[in-house]
Amino acid sequence: MTLFDGITSRLIETPGPTVNILERSGDDLAAPPEKTVVLIHGNVSSALFWQEIMQDLPSDLRVIAIDLRGFGGTEHLPIDATRGLRDFSDDVRATLDALGIDTAHFVGWSMGGGVVLQYALDHPALSLTLQAPVSPYGFGGTRRDGTRLTDHDAGCGGGGANPDFVARLEARDTTDDAPTSPRSVFRSGYVAPGYTTDHEDVWVESMLTTSTATGNYPGDGVASENWPGFGAGTIGVLNTMAPKYFDASGITDLAVKPPILWIHGTADPIVSDTSFYDLNHLGALGIVPGWPGADVAPAQEMVSQTRDVLDRYAAGGGAVTEVVLEGVGHAPHLERPAEFRQALLRVIAYERPPHTPGPPTETIILRASD
């Protein structure tokens, strides 16, 4: 692994997988929960993606980035997708148990946002930061209210993965000679046009740690009589987010509601109301043939679903801050690190202004010039 200055890694034994974590040299290992931040990466990535923000957070915080099973340096055990994202969230809890950490502030990116939501359903959390998170109703196959379109979750799960992309992951392809190479996917899917960095090789290295072994990425599929002809299987990463297995909308019913920061970009091609990773949207565009129409296979309104759930969370007494970054893609912490840092520190009460009466939710829109 390519580690930045001041970042270290170590392996943690748990009852499940042996888990790799990244930490900062000099962090206080006895820091209290309110000074502990746990970072959870997304799909086809690893904890390596968090290194810049780890370096930039205040030194009196303890910062831990965890590699999920099948990614980074964590053991590649199979994933039972019928448990939704619980295999991942249970591994996070087991890792924190091994470290003697009762609770913390949690940050989840993309699929990691779903892991953090599942974690909060099962365990206490001091705050949740959701960066470009998967919808609380999973990825694909639902109407805006979260109801499923088909019994098989047609078009969802492992059957939807591009086989050439999977093959290039397995071959550890670092080129940009095809749209399906990991490097090309990073440029087109993870960040907005115009993003530049000296660390692109590290981000691609992180993507290439993704295990393509049976039970990891992408997972299996089943035949379906519904368009496009397949549905979600029972093992592997992509099936964990199928709506029949994952539904975190129950956070609205938590008795104790940790404050939530939702930060996302308007140019995100992955998590969007018009996602280029949603087969129903691609069908509507004519990219995938045979689309049966919006009454049967509407695109998933991912961002609107998240907003609806968080509005109910706020109406039930939870504090929600939405930060919208105009022109930003799927990785605000890479593309607009200063704004990400400021928003994160505010939600963990590090720089939060004194509480004043009023609505428990606010939306902040930041443009490129701000």
Beta strands 19-24 and 62-66 are: antiparallel
Mean pLDDT of 47-71: 98
At the top level of CATH, the class of 7-146+248-366 is alpha beta
Name the nearest CA neighbour of 363 among 345, 348, 343. Answer: 343
Q: Could you report the per-residue pLDDT of 189-212, keeping only the tens digit for each?
A: 999 999 999 999 999 999 999 999
User: What is the C-alpha to C-alpha distance for residues 51 and 24, in angstroms, rounded to an integer?
Assistant: 9
pLDDT at 249: 98
| pLDDT above 80: residue 60 | yes
pLDDT at 274: 97
User: What is the C-alpha to C-alpha distance for residues 333 and 340, in angstroms, rounded to an integer?
Assistant: 5
**Residue 355 carries which DSSP code?**
P
CA distances from 182 to 165, 190, 202, 255, 330 (A): 7, 10, 12, 42, 15
| pLDDT above 60: residue 353 | no
pLDDT at 98: 98
Helix 86-99, helix 111-122: angle, nearest 10: 70
CA distances from 98 to 19, 27, 41, 78, 192 (A): 10, 17, 20, 21, 38
**Which residue stretches of 29-147 are H helix?**
51-56, 86-99, 111-122
Domain ranges of the chain: 7-146+248-366
User: What's the pLDDT band for 352 if we cut at 50, 70, 90?
Assistant: very low
pLDDT at 349: 81
Convert 224-248 to b/e letters by CB count within 10 Å (16 or more is b): bebbbebbbbbbbbbbbbbbbbbbb
